[in-house]
């Protein structure tokens, strides 16, 4: 048995550290490595993986969507998102899963003590991560999720994919953000704004003033550990969470798929987080 993460680029991926720590904590001697697979080379990779004992892999850019037509089965959550991040070989079949959304909801519950059920949420962005998180929030029975995006048509398209009807599209201008924030108990940033290497930043943070004082702010970004959004929110006394617990939780759920059994999620998340913090120290 061998596990991998594939992508291009992928050598910077934290998945080998996270999965290595969890496998080590379980006492399992299963190798997990990063493997560069270029766009257009997925079919060759699947054949190679099958021949070389790879029984599961994580996928990152640019393969999350392109894998879908090449797999034998797709889990309903991944089908809804239209992207996979975890693929397992079971009974000779490649089966695709997406653990990003469930990982985000688990992070909110475990690290911020927020259960989205019944909440109104402002969600910024309508890209791949936003889609996974918005659909998971809807599934977790958030009362309403305002999907706010610079390109409104992408937000509209995302909301049209929600079978439960909890998602509403909205714009990204300051007035709209303040209006939806006023109604929200949770704000989730799924844009690149504030990410290391992203040249752009929020134009203003006045939407944070519209939130109730006990609101939670969840930024999917984990580099830097505290984005300007989280710093501004913290200075206003709001509860904040960065993207690291989501990264860890999506990996815990992926490992459950790889091993095809439930794990002690808290223990796994703890081992992975310790390894990441050690790496950064």
Query: Given the complex with ligand NAP, which of 137 and 190 has the nearer CB atom?
Result: 190
Sign of CA dihedral 96, 101, 102, 104: positive
Binding site for ligand NAP (CB under 6 A): 100, 125-130, 149-151, 154, 172, 190-193, 195, 200, 220-222, 243, 246-247, 250
Q: Tell me how far, at minimum, the Cβ of 92 lies from ligand NAP, in Å.
A: 30
Contact 122, 112 (CB under 8 A): no
Contact 32, 4 (CB under 8 A): yes
Distance of CA 93 to the CA centre of its chain: 25
- Cis preceding-peptide flag for 62 (omega within 30 of 0): yes
Contact 28, 261 (CB under 8 A): no
Q: Tell me how far, at minimum, the Cβ of 277 lies from ligand NAP, in Å.
A: 15
Query: Given the complex with ligand NAP, which of 2 and 112 has the nearer CB atom?
Result: 112
In the complex, residue closest to ligand NAP by CB: 127
Catalytic residue selected from 14, 64, 79, 131 = 64
Q: Tell me how far, at minimum, the Cβ of 268 lies from ligand NAP, in Å.
A: 15
- Which CA distances in Å does 29 have to 37, 50, 254? 24, 20, 17
Query: Given the complex with ligand NAP, which of 89 and 123 has the nearer CB atom?
Result: 123
Task: Tell me whether residue 64 is one of the annotated catalytic residues.
Answer: yes
Query: Given the complex with ligand NAP, which of 55 and 116 has the nearer CB atom?
Result: 116
Query: Given the complex with ligand NAP, which of 105 and 246 has the nearer CB atom?
Result: 246
60-64: long-range contacts, CB 8 A cutoff, minimum separation 24? 60/5, 60/6, 60/7, 60/10, 60/13, 60/15, 60/85, 61/7, 61/8, 61/9, 62/7, 62/8, 63/6, 63/7, 63/37, 63/39, 64/98, 64/128
Contact 118, 169 (CB under 8 A): no
Distance of CA 63 to the CA centre of its chain: 15
Contacts of 112 (CB under 8 A, 6+ apart): 216, 218, 239, 241
Query: Given the complex with ligand NAP, which of 89 and 207 has the nearer CB atom?
Result: 207
Catalytic residues: 64
């Amino acid at each position: 048995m061998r596990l991998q993460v594939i992508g291009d680029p992928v050598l910077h991926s934290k998945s080998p550290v996270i999965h290595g720590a969890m496998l080590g904590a379980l006492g399992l001697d299963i190798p997990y490595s990063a493997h560069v697979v270029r766009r257009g080379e997925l079919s060759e990779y699947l054949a190679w993986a099958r021949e070389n004992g790879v029984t599961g892999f994580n996928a990152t850019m640019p393969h999350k969507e392109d894998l879908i037509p090449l797999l034998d089965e797709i889990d309903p959550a991944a089908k809804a998102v239209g992207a996979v991040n975890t693929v397992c070989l079971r009974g000779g079949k490649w089966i695709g899963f997406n653990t990003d959304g469930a990982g985000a909801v688990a992070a909110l519950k475990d690290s911020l003590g927020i259960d989205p059920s019944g909440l109104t949420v402002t969600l910024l962005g309508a890209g791949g991560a936003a889609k996974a998180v918005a659909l998971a929030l809807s599934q977790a029975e958030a009362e309403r999720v305002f999907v706010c995006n610079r390109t409104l048509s992408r937000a509209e398209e995302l909301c049209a994919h929600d079978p439960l009807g909890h998602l509403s599209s909205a714009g990204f201008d300051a007035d709209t953000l303040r209006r939806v924030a006023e109604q929200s108990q949770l704000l989730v940033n799924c844009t690149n704004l504030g990410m290391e290497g992203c040249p752009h930043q929020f134009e203003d943070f006045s939407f944070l003033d519209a939130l109730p004082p006990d609101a939670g702010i969840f930024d999917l970004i984990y580099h830097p550990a505290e984005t300007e959004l989280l710093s501004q929110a913290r200075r206003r006394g709001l509860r904040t969470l960065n993207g690291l617990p989501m990264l860890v939780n999506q990996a815990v759920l992926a490992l459950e798929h790889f091993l095809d059994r439930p794990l002690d999620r808290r223990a796994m998340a703890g081992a992975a987080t310790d390894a990441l913090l050690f790496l950064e120290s």
